[in-house]
Each structure stands twice: as C-alpha cells, then as structure tokens.
C-alpha cells in the first residue's frame, strides 16, 4: 500500500508535468506580463505547454522504450537517460521559442528558459552521477518562485510553502521506492533551486 501511494505520487507529480503545474501557478501571479494575457488565451497556453512538455516528450520516449534504447519510462539506469533528456531539453526549448514568438515575455518565458537549462545541467551531471529528475524539477519551480519574490519584492509566501511541502512529499516517495539514495534526492533539489534562482539575478 505504501509503495502504491509512493508510485502514485511519483506519477502525478512527474517532472514532465512540472512545467504545466508551474504555469498554472504562475498564472495566478499578477505581473504585467501575466495580466496582459487575455483570459480566453490562458487555457490555450496551458494546453499548449501540456502538449509540448508532457505529451510530446512522453510519446518520443515511448518510442525509445519500444526500440530498446531505454528499458522503461522511469529511466532508472543512468546510461539510459541521455537520449530522453535530450528530447526533453529540445521540447522545453521549443516551448520557450513558440511562447516567445507568440509575444509572451516575462515570468512564463523565463521559467521555460530555466527549465531547459536545468534539463541540460541534469544531462551533464548524468555523466558523473545519477540525480533525481523529480527533485530537480520541483526544486526548479521553487527556485522560480523564490527568485521572483526576492528580486521583485513580491509576496509569494503561500505558493512557496505549498511548493516546499509538495517537494517534501515527492522526495519521500522517491526514497520510499528506492529510486534514489538521499544524496541523489537532496542534490537534485539543491541544483534545481540554485539553478533557477540564480537565473533571476543574471538576466
């Protein structure tokens, strides 16, 4: 029962879904760039991001599994992560490119740039050690919220607390499933937070 719950959490809070969840959260922040998006366009943007960052990469990774490049969707083996991570990086970058081409700027596009950067960082780290993709994704979302709150002196306390709690739940689930050791979970989370947070003070 405990493992079933942990697997369910890992699936519902999958790293490929974090851009969609993050976008929904960011849409609640009343910045100029967010307020400029007409209400009837917001659902379309969320649907587009869901397709390009979850559906499309999932289908392509499924093909890799089918042809034997990867053994499963979990990418549990370190050596199997290279091509799936490249697919995700390209999908995330194309999402950023199309959103920017559509005239979106500010927090949403910065979040997608940061997400792409974190996937590339993960790809590089993968040559040295395996880290938690779940935790680098959720750490990235937390870093985005922290970066915006600090740089623009905006109160996002509730969203930050909620994201920390969700990250803790995800970390517990990954450890329960023995998908990672504590180091891989914590270092993934720290890279996610630091990478995205740092981006807000560079651009």
Residue 96: which domain range?
Answer: 2-199
**């740089």: which residue's tokens?**
151
Region of residue 68 (phi > 0: left; psi between -120 and 50: alpha; otherwise: beta): left
What value does the CA radius of gyration of the chain take, rounded to a whole number of Å?
16
Count how many domains the chain has.
1
Whether 34 shows a pLDDT value over 90: the answer reads: no
What the block records as the tokens of 36 is 């400029």
Question: What mean pLDDT comes out for the span 185-190?
Answer: 96
* pTM to 2 decimal places: 0.93
The DSSP 8-state label assigned to residue 79 in this structure reads G
Query: Can you tell me the distance from the alpha carbon of 153 to that of 146, in angstroms, rounded to the nearest whole number?
Result: 10
Say if residues 141 and 148 touch (Cβ distance below 8 Å): no
User: Residue 179 — pLDDT band, cuts 50, 70, 90?
Assistant: confident
What angle do the packed helices 182-199 and 133-151 form, to 10 degrees? 30
Question: What mean pLDDT comes out for the span 160-183?
Answer: 94
């Amino acid at each position: 029962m405990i493992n079933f719950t942990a697997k369910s959490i890992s699936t519902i809070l999958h790293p490929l879904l974090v851009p969609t969840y993050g976008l929904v959260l960011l849409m609640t922040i009343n910045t100029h760039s967010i307020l400029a998006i007409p209400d009837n366009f917001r659902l379309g943007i969320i649907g587009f991001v869901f397709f390009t960052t979850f559906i499309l990469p999932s289908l392509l990774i499924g093909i890799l599994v089918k042809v034997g490049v990867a053994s499963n969707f979990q990418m549990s083996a370190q050596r199997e992560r290279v091509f799936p991570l490249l697919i995700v990086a390209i999908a995330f970058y194309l999402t950023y490119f199309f959103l920017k081409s559509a005239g979106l700027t500010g927090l949403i596009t910065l979040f997608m740039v940061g997400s792409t950067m974190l996937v590339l960082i993960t790809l590089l780290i993968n040559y040295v050690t395996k880290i938690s993709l779940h935790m680098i994704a959720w750490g990235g979302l937390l870093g985005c919220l922290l970066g915006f709150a600090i740089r623009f002196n905006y109160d996002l306390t509730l969203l930050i607390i909620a994201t920390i709690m969700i990250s803790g739940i995800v970390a517990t689930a990954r450890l329960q499933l023995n998908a990672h050791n504590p180091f891989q979970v914590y270092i993934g989370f720290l890279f996610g937070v630091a990478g995205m947070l740092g981006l807000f003070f560079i651009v």
